[in-house]
Chain A
Amino acid sequence: MSRIEGGLIDRSQTFRFTFNGKPMQGHAGDTLASALIANGQKLVGRSFKYHRPRGIFTAGSEEPNALVELRGGAHQEPNTRATVTELFDGLSAKSQNHRGPLEYDLMAMTDFAAPFLSAGFYYKTFMWPKAFWEKVYEPAIRASAGLGRLSMQEDPDIYDKGFLHCDLLVIGAGPAGLQAALTAGRAGARVILADEDFLPGGRLNAETLEVDGMAGHAWAAQAVAELSAMGNVRMMTRTTVYGAYDHGVYGALERCTDHLASSDGKPRQILWRLYSKRAVLAAGATERPIAFGNNDRPGVMMAGAVRSYVNRFGAAPGKRIAVFTNNDDGWRTAKDLHDNGLEVAAVIDSRDRSPLLDIPGARYIRGAGVRDTAGRKGISRITLTDDQMVDIDCMAVSGGWNPNVHLTCHQRGRPRWRDDLCAFVPGGTLPAGMVVAGAANGALTLAAALAEGAAQAEAQLKDLGITPAAATLPRAEDEPGEAAAFWHVKESAKRAWVDLQNDVTVKDIKLANQEGFRSVELLKRYTTMGMATDQGKTSNIAGLAILAEQAGKTIPEVGTTIFRPPYTPVPIGALGGRARGRDFRPYRLTPSHEWAKANGATFVEVGNWLRAQWYARPGEKGWRDSVDREVEMTRGSVGICDVTTLGKIDVQGRDAAAFLNKVYANGFAKLAVGKVRYGLMLREDGIAYDDGTTARLSENHYVMTTTTANAVLVFRRLEFARQCLWPNMDVHLISTTDGWAQFAVAGPNARNLLRKVVDEGFDLSNEAFPFMACGEVRVCGGTPARLFRISFSGELAYEIAVPARYGNSMMGVLMEAGKEYDAVPYGTEALGVMRIEKGHAAGNELNGQTTAHNLGMGRMVSQTKECIGNVLSQRPEMIRDDAIKLMGFKPVDPAKKLIAGSHFIASGNKATMANDEGWMTSVAYSPSLGHSIGLGFIKSGDTRKGEIVRAVSPVHGVEMDVEICSAHFIDPEGERLRV
């Protein structure tokens, strides 16, 4: 055990957990990483490429090494950073990326092959033969790639999304963030303070520095208590602000139950969209390493992280520790270790300077570096550049601190190099409304962070017209922080790691430069430096510095890669939220859905709608039996179908007629009151867009129908025409698709059936209410209804609409009234069969590529009025005589079944693309004709009736002879409609 006194953990609560099945103990307030350190577990995983033994490297979200699998079963979660995983009782964690036990990874042999696995290895090696790409190389590479494993089960947890608004968003609850939030909170502003840690305070929790004469962590706790008591402040811990978006919108991920054994039905994580008027970024800084030979052994850690484990978690990463630093801050680690009773074996400062602090018992080596390390599964000895050797079990490395500028770059910000800090600070144009405070802005001392937090918040408040309350700054000191530019130990003969997560070494960067990958963006992609879960938080700057050195440039000349969201990984589950499975997109149910369900309907998804597809009766063996019967009984007597899903748009106003005349390609100016007309809409480019019927109910009142699929789009387009193209027309639109339940009543007995439902006094006779008539009626003793004599089936047919709330009972009423005529309900399949028999175009024919000319409706497109699409519809290529035309097709052998999607080849021609003459759009078995029928487009079809062509479907390996015929298979003269 490596527990020491002190720290901010709660020793009264002991948690049991397992690592690779081995039972261990920790306390409340531990992270998995601190608990592993406290249990003496140094080796926690294997590296990505070389399977090198790896240990915990940092104490925060920048961790490149300590990625573990958490939990088990469906809850298993790979690639979780142990350094930010809050310990709970019963946690089980496993190491990743090894075959066999962690200590004896069979894949470790890859490390011996390292000389061959340099940067670009894959690009250079797996080039030939081409036949191996998919069959050999890819499976082999995939088998050895990746780190953790997915559970391969559905995620059982719930994720949510939420929205919050504030005056000031403060990102990060370290000293600068807390002081900023206090300043704004005390002034009465609406504040959100978000921090990724479960314990707010940032570095204050990890340091021995004092604020206002008390321990830093105590001051932080006091500030948090004050903020939590304010009604205008929302304190969000375990919440990472991961992205800065336009206009003050920020994305944040709150981990609600990740620190609990079970979510217990509550959302595990919430993806927040934060709307802020202003923001203060106080994201702190991240310490960076120095590269030296074999610097990746377990036990080599960031100096600040070593300090965190000792000061905050009471866990000692080693008993005999060396510190290697290029800056003043490294010395504090040495001092804190010594003050906690740990042995500091040596302090190595790359700078040739006198000791900054007195560390009793420690050897001080100035102007030197570490060039190599030893120790199979954990560091045991270091060799210095002067060949001295020091036996140790932990190595604390400090290469200086990088301000966390990430969120400043999410739009147009470009970090600026500061020579005095040897680091990039925020630069360029920051996201609108954002300012940066504290270490994130290069204010790396405690006193400076507190002052800047207050000042930046005050500036933001003044911008918003809020007067800050007068306050004095908490007292704190400016600790020494001088740093020197020192990135890697050149004397190292062994591999020196820059990016631990991607196994990128100094040599790889040199190689990339040699091979011409000199731009920083190319370096990243060629070596993979800075990729994966840590996004190079610890490695990027050293990598840039080494590239600059190689290229003989300065770091600002080389530049930096730009950070994009997210700051830390966001699970797909959280991005999906509740929109998954059945809830991905809600169903819309038709008004007669309950009736259909109770009467044996099989349903089909049509856009968002769930529609009855057919109604099976006992004894029917397959869907065809039901569909054939529905068609036969409808054509034989009467059938009823819910057609509510068709779009309905109410068009009213003095200019309604003129408006319709502009949006339809055919004439609408002279439609009489009480009449319905078929209308064809074009796109502005002349392609057919949508069709439907429009009824004129009164002088200035029309009802338009659209196809189900285009209901929303047509409405949007009509609003565009009304507001943007003809803004002075007196016309008003409202969608009434959901307002009215509409039923088709089709078949020779349709009128007889309706006579029983429509109230007395309304003359339904053919003379009084002929084909294409419409009117407002009442049904069932006073219920308002609309009646349209229109037909999609080709039979004597009506559509009757009632307010949607009566829809389900109306279906029952119609069926009851139809009993004496043996009325049937029919679904979308029978509807489809009847429209193909009748030759009506639908979605398969109006596919966004066809014109009115192709559809045989070219003459409908008026050239004597202004309307959408008519000008471009007359382009020469679109009105060619030999254009494809919509025709009917029947198999020469009536026993054969046509295949939709077949292409037409003239008899005697080879089935090649060059000979392609068109394609079959829709097919059905016609119960009325007793054989398969189809609709399709074929070149010059209108002049080729009776010709036999081949319908070829290479996909099915089928071809057959078909005869071109009229698309109107049933009642071509339309006599049935008019009786």
Chain B
Amino acid sequence: MIINHPLLGPRDAAEFVYLGDASLIDRPDWQAEDAQEQFYAYGYLRDNPAGKMQELWYHEQGDRSWLVVTRDTITHEITQVELARDVARERGRDK
């Protein structure tokens, strides 16, 4: 597979380490009433979509960027690659 790195251009997937669903960015509030339930869902529950999925890839053999890659799990077509930091900010990660 080829991942079109937003800063470095097309790179072979072998340079990356895969983590999984980009929902891992959405870490729950530790002070919420139901923090344990939320963290349980965050840690253990995943959607398994047939189709577009946002996932986290780490450019370990490169610039160490974490990327959010939008990939079709059926065709492996990659339609969007973003810096995870930008996505996290857009999703309102505060600190």
Contacts and interface: CB of A to CB of B under 8 A. Distances in A.
Interface stretch (A380-388, A532-540, A870-878): A870-878
Contacts of A247: 1-2, 76, 78
A482 interface: no
Contacts of A874: 36
B78 A728 contact: no
A726 B85 CA distance: 9
A248 B2 contact: yes
Chain A facing B: main interface SS: mixed
A871 B36 contact: yes
Given A723-B85, A872-B39, A246 B1 contact: yes
A249 B12 CA distance: 9
Nearest to A865: B30
A723 B88 contact: yes
Contact of B66 (A275, A655, A685, A724): A724
A727 B36 CA distance: 23
Nearest to A248: B2
B66 A726 contact: no
B93 A728 contact: yes
Interface in A220-250: 245-249
A723 B2 CA distance: 22
A279 to B, nearest CB: 14
Interface in A247-267: 247-249
Max count, chain A CB within 10 A of own CB: residue among B40, B83, B95: B95
Nearest to B74: A412
A875 B44 CA distance: 14
A725 B2 contact: no
Contacts of B39: 684, 871-872
A253 B42 CA distance: 44
Contacts of B65: 723
Contacts of A249: 1-2, 12
Contacts of A248: 2
A685 B17 CA distance: 21
A429 interface: yes
B75 A724 contact: no
B95 A728 contact: yes
Contacts of B95: 655, 658, 726, 728-729
A719 B58 CA distance: 9
A252 B64 CA distance: 30
A872 B30 contact: no
B47 interface: no
Interface in B10-56: 12, 17, 19, 24-25, 27-28, 30-31, 35-36, 39-40, 42-44, 56
Contact of A871 (B19, B35, B85, B93): B35
A785 interface: no
B52 to A, nearest CB: 16
Contacts of A720: 19, 56, 58, 66
A726 B30 contact: no
A111 interface: no
Nearest to B67: A723
Contacts of A187: none
The winner among B25, B30, B65, B74 for most chain A CB atoms within 10 A is B30
Nearest to A726: B95
Given A684-B39, A866-B30, A871-B39, A246 B66 contact: no
Contact of A724 (B31, B56, B76): B56
Interface string A635-666: 00000000000000000000100100000000
A712 B61 CA distance: 12
Contacts of B88: 723-725, 727
B36 A685 contact: no
A716 interface: yes
A655 B27 CA distance: 19
B83 to A, nearest CB: 8
Given A724-B85, A727-B88, A872-B43, A246 B76 contact: yes
A723 B7 CA distance: 15
A432 interface: yes
Given A249-B1, A724-B24, A728-B93, A719 B76 contact: no
A872 B93 contact: no
B30 A871 contact: yes
Nearest to B44: A685
Contacts of B76: 246-247, 411
Nearest to A866: B30
Contacts of B43: 684-685, 872
Contacts of A275: 2, 12
B85 A716 contact: no
A457 B76 CA distance: 25
A872 B40 contact: yes
A25 B50 CA distance: 59
A658 B94 CA distance: 14
Interface in A846-892: 866, 870-872, 874-875
Interface string A699-729: 0000000000000100010011001111111
Contacts of A432: 75, 77
Interface string B70-95: 00001111100001110011000111
A723 B94 contact: no
A729 to B, nearest CB: 6
A842 to B, nearest CB: 25
Nearest to B36: A871
B45 to A, nearest CB: 13
Contact of B25 (A429, A655, A684, A725): A725
Nearest to A273: B12
B19 A727 contact: no
Most B CB within 10 A of own CB, among A432, A658, A725, A729: A725
A412 B75 CA distance: 8
A720 B66 CA distance: 7
Contacts of A723: 65-66, 83-85, 88
A685 B95 CA distance: 22
Contacts of B56: 720, 724
Contacts of B30: 866, 870-871
Contacts of B35: 871
Contacts of A412: 74-75
Nearest to A683: B43
Contacts of B27: 725
Contacts of B40: 872
A871 B19 CA distance: 21
A432 B78 CA distance: 11
A728 B92 CA distance: 10
Interface string A427-438: 001001000000
A956 B55 CA distance: 47
Contacts of A726: 93, 95
A725 B42 CA distance: 13
Interface in A411-437: 411-412, 429, 432
Given A246-B2, A432-B77, A684-B43, A727 B58 contact: no
Contacts of B74: 412
17 contacts: A245-B1, A247-B1, A248-B2, A411-B75, A685-B44, A716-B58, A720-B66, A723-B83, A723-B84, A724-B56, A724-B66, A724-B84, A724-B85, A725-B27, A725-B93, A727-B84, A870-B30
The 5 A-B pairs at the shortest CB distance, nearest first, are namely A247-B2, A727-B88, A246-B1, A727-B85, A723-B85
Given A247-B1, A720-B56, A727-B84, 19 more contacts: A246-B1, A246-B2, A247-B78, A248-B2, A429-B75, A685-B43, A685-B44, A716-B17, A720-B19, A720-B58, A725-B25, A725-B88, A726-B93, A727-B93, A728-B94, A866-B31, A871-B35, A872-B43, A875-B36
Interface of B: 1-2, 12, 17, 19, 24-25, 27-28, 30-31, 35-36, 39-40, 42-44, 56, 58, 60, 64-66, 74-78, 83-85, 88-89, 93-95
